[in-house]
Structure 1
Amino acid sequence: MSDAARVEIDLHENAILPARNPEVTPFAEMSRLMMIGIDANQQNNLLWTAQTEPNGPWSGTWEAINKTSYIVLATGSTTDGRVALAAQTKSSPLAVHYIDEAAQGAGGEERWNEPISLGMPEGLAGFVQLEMVRDADGRIEIFGVDDSGGNVWWIYQNPPKIVDKTEQVTPPGSTTPITVHVQEAEPPDTPWSAWIALPGQTISRLTVSNDATGRITLIGTGQNPKAVEVYVISQSKGTSLATADWSGWTRIDNADSGTAGSRPTAVLDNEGAINIFMVGSQADVVQIRQQPSGGPGWSEWYRPGMTGKTLVNVTSAFAGNGQIVLVALDENLGLHANYQYDALFQQWSGWQQIGVAPDFGLTAMDYNADGSLTYFQGETKINGVKMISQVTMDSTSWTAGWTMLADNGIFTYGIVRDLTPPETS
């Protein structure tokens, strides 16, 4: 982990970007992409691999984080840009462990802090899913779906405590000290909250997002496999510490959208609104948008064009220009992209096929330090992961060949940006 400062540079209109020159980073941040996975071939250990530098190639090697066996994983980052993760142990004693990056060793060696056990909700036999996200205060919050009914559980880093202190100060021009009272923030007595159930709805899968204010919204799919309902619940204030600080679950699918044919994906547009996409009616992509931005309401359902194919999954991210990019997978492994040109007027490029995926499996998409997107495709048959990338930021062209990141063993993974990449000469 280096102490390199984050670099912010505004792009001028019609600016032309260099072709992946690692020495020139005209985009917003000096970061590298990292993949963390659980490897079934390595006793279910947590392994990681990453770009060797911002915009650089992937290392091609996987390294262990620790020697504990895990079964469920979530990834994220700390307020100061260090990679963080939460993972549930595979065997007794069952617990969710929180792990984050430590200072790098000599020669840039990646190191990890020891796991912090967050325990488990009392009587729970395990989670089927974990999600991690930062809240409006920058604190990490973790959500889990249990395996005994689909209840949603929540745990968070406690906020700092405010302590009243008295100090002796001498006013300017005086030699007589006076006593003043000040309030200072100190670490909380307990670093993490207890596990809290969010009542009112049972869920099969969760998607997490932040709105423009930083408050967290959860999108959950129901448990009816023949007609998968879609629900949302949002924090009602920035510092949410109890169930009363949430809106309550609201069902948002209807006859126009159809029920969910895929796990919803959510992304914030450059107007500050959460956008939710899923495979819905006609086995094609449907979209609903927060209205107003940061508010409690939702638009009617839209359709950002149709592919003419039977889709099975859609993944979203925002590109270097802040606009949304969608990548959808069809039943014959065709991969299709759609680029938003204007969020306010909902203008899209229209779908185009950009490739053929190697297999079905877990997908993800995130941006590189130069603003170009990389799409990750899991391969269920071999527990592998491959990727393709945009040629440059905001390009409609993608690499023709897939890059192999894992050829077997990785049955679940998360992608995260490391804002503390190793220093390069």
Structure 2
Amino acid sequence: MANTAAPTSKAPTPAAKETAASATATSPTAPVYQHMPAGTSFFELSRLMVVAIDSAAGRLIQKAQTSPNGPWPAAWSIIAPGAWVIMTAGLTKDGRVAVVAQPSGTTNLSFITEDPNQIGPVDKWSAPVSIGAPPGAFSYQKLSMANDADGRIEIFLTDNQGRIWWIYQNPDQIVQVQKTITPPGSTTPIVVTVDVLAPPAKPWSDWIQLTGQLVTVTAIRQGDGRIALFGINSNLHLYRCQQATAQALKVADWTGWVQIDTTQTGGFIEMAPVIGPLGATNLFALTQNGQVLHTRQMPAGSDTWTQWATPGYTRASNLTLAAGIQGDGDIVLAASDQQHFLQFNAQWDAYTQNWSGWRDFNKSLYPARLTLNYNADGRLALFMLMLMPDGTNGLWTLNQMGIDSSEWEYAWTSLTDNNLKQIVVVRDLTPPV
């Protein structure tokens, strides 16, 4: 398929902003980077990867930049054999890409990671490992993955009954081992018993049902390492909760769900949480009327949130929303409206909540789903999954010209013209170089 998106206007570059720190939401260790000027050539050893399920055969596939800031290959690669129904992706504690997916014909979920030695059975991926299924679940509406304060992977899902389920990698256990040492000033070895960390006897917890009923749930690792959950129920009410303790192992370790939509906001159809440059969790959500609203923690890490505000009103209703951070930690939003114009809105100052306002920068022929993530040099990449009339979905990407730039590349890069059912974009922190 030919390039189907035509750019429109470009806006002037934003003014210089104050220095601020950022905690990255997708990195398992949540590193903090200082605000960097536009033109910085390199700041993170990573490459962007798209994990996907194709709509033709249900294959679980991936395509990744060949190197940090590098080009995209022509071909997609198989992650695991067979057909797959639904998936999500994230990172292991050591920065490898991890995938949780449902094989066709079973409700059991499989956990798959990049092989640490890059010699896995299928294109350098480890063989799938079953992590079972929540009791009584027949299908799944949404899967979400996040890293906790220890870097362990935690998985959340909503099933066909709207129940919310949780499973996590068990923490390391403390075991006692004997070691032979020679004390200072002595020539006689002695045997001492010391406590050391060892892998858990059981890699994964049991499936745990959390309170509440939702259609969709999204997990995010907050600036202090605790995971927050955001969800929408069948009545389009929006809820949030978070871990009350850094190492949450049971239902009681979570705060209760708080309904955060109001009579003024009405219901919400989409949500996009992101960690801002001040370390606070920011939630952007799309109302039924197609307006983007914003609430955030104040102060960071607390369970107190600001009232709903608008980062800018749009005359046409938006159909989809994405939130991301540039390499310097500043928040950027992207949206597509009813006429399929693509717009961005950049946060210039997190202290004063100063925004650029919505600016058209491209257009698609058909409705689209949008995803934002950043390159190794900090420039944002926008991924557009275009929903084609015949049911086949193509995927295109384009890059911001520089950190804090309001210019975007003119031409789209096609990653596939059709046949994608679902995508997740991650940053592989163990890329080939």
Mapping for residues 74-113 of structure 1, pairs under 5 Å: 74-92=88-106, 94-102=107-115, 103-105=117-119, 110-113=123-126
- 1:192 pairs with 2:204: yes
1:292 pairs with one of 299, 303, 310 = 299
- 1:207 CA drift (Å): 1.7
Deviation at 1:362, TM superposition (A): 3.0
- Counterpart CA distance in 1 for 2:382 and 2:218 is 18
In the alignment, what sits opposite 1:321? 328
> Which stretches in structure 1 are left out of the alignment for 5+ residues?
1-5, 19-24
Aligned mate of 2:54, from 6, 31, 39:
39
Letter matched to residue 406 of structure 2: T
TM-score if structure 1 supplies the norm length? 0.89
**Residue in structure 1 matched with residue 399 of structure 2 by the alignment:** 389
Cα displacement string for residues 356-386 of structure 1 (whole angstroms, at most 9, x for unaligned residues): 1242233211000011111111122222111
User: Which of 237, 245, 252 does residue 253 from structure 2 map onto?
Assistant: 245
1:210 maps to 2:221: yes
1:305 matched to 2:312: yes
Q: Is the 8 A contact 2:101 2:109 kept in 1?
A: yes
1:10–1:311 distance in 2 versus 1, CA, 3 Å: closer
Instruction: Indicate the SS of the match to 2:213.
Output: coil
Secondary structure in structure 1 of the residue aligned to 2:80: coil
Task: After superposition, give the CA deviation of every residue in 1:18-50 in whole Å (9 maximum; x if it has no partner).
Answer: 7xxxxxx33x21111011111122x21111111
Matches within 5 A, 1:259-298: 259-260=267-268, 262-280=269-287, 283-298=290-305
Percent identical residues: 38
Counterpart secondary structure, 2:252:
helix
Inter-CA distance 403–12: structure 2 relative to 1 (3 Å threshold): closer
* Greater RCO structure (CA 8 Å; 6+ sep): 2
Closer, same or farther in 2 for the Cα pair 1:54/1:197, shift >3 Å?
same
Indicate conservation of the 8 Å contact 1:286/1:303, yes or no.
Answer: yes
Task: Give the match's secondary structure for 1:244.
Answer: helix
Task: Tell whether the 8 Å contact from 2:35 to 2:328 is kept in structure 1 after alignment.
Answer: no
Q: Does 1:370 align with 2:377?
A: yes
Q: Which amino acid aligns with 2:171?
A: P
Q: Provide the secondary structure at the position in 2 that maps to 1:283.
A: coil
2:12 corresponds to: none
| Superposed CA RMSD | 2.1
Shift of 1:176: 4.2
Contact in 1 for aligned 2:395/2:415 (Cα 8 Å): yes
Question: Residues 162 and 202 (structure 1 numbering): CA distance in 2 closer, same or farther, change over 3 Å?
Answer: same
What is the aligned partner in structure 1 of residue 133 from structure 2? 120
Is 1:52 aligned to 2:66, yes or no?
yes
Q: Is the 8 A contact 2:342 2:364 kept in 1?
A: yes
How many Å separate the matches in 2 of 1:252 and 1:282? 17
Deviation at 1:144, TM superposition (A): 1.0
Structure 1 position 173, deviation (Å): 0.8
Report the equivalent of 2:45.
Answer: 30
Counterpart AA for 1:197: Q
Paired residue for 2:359?
A: 352
**Equivalent residue of 1:362, what SS?**
strand
TM-score of the superposition, structure 2-length normalised? 0.88
Aligned 8 A contact 1:205 1:263 in 2 = no
Judging changes above 3 Å, is the alpha-carbon distance between structure 1 residues 144 and 184 closer, same or farther for their aligned structure 2 residues? same
User: Displacement, 1:128?
Assistant: 1.6
Match of 1:413 in 2: 423
What is the total number of aligned residue pairs between the two structures? 399
Q: Say if 2:38 and 2:402, in contact at 8 Å, map to a contact too.
A: no
- Residue 188 of structure 1 aligns with an amino acid whose one-letter code is P
Deviation at 1:294, TM superposition (A): 0.6
Residue 22 of structure 1 is matched in structure 2 by: none
Taking a change above 3 Å as real, the CA distance of residues 393 and 135 of structure 1, as seen in their structure-2 partners, is same
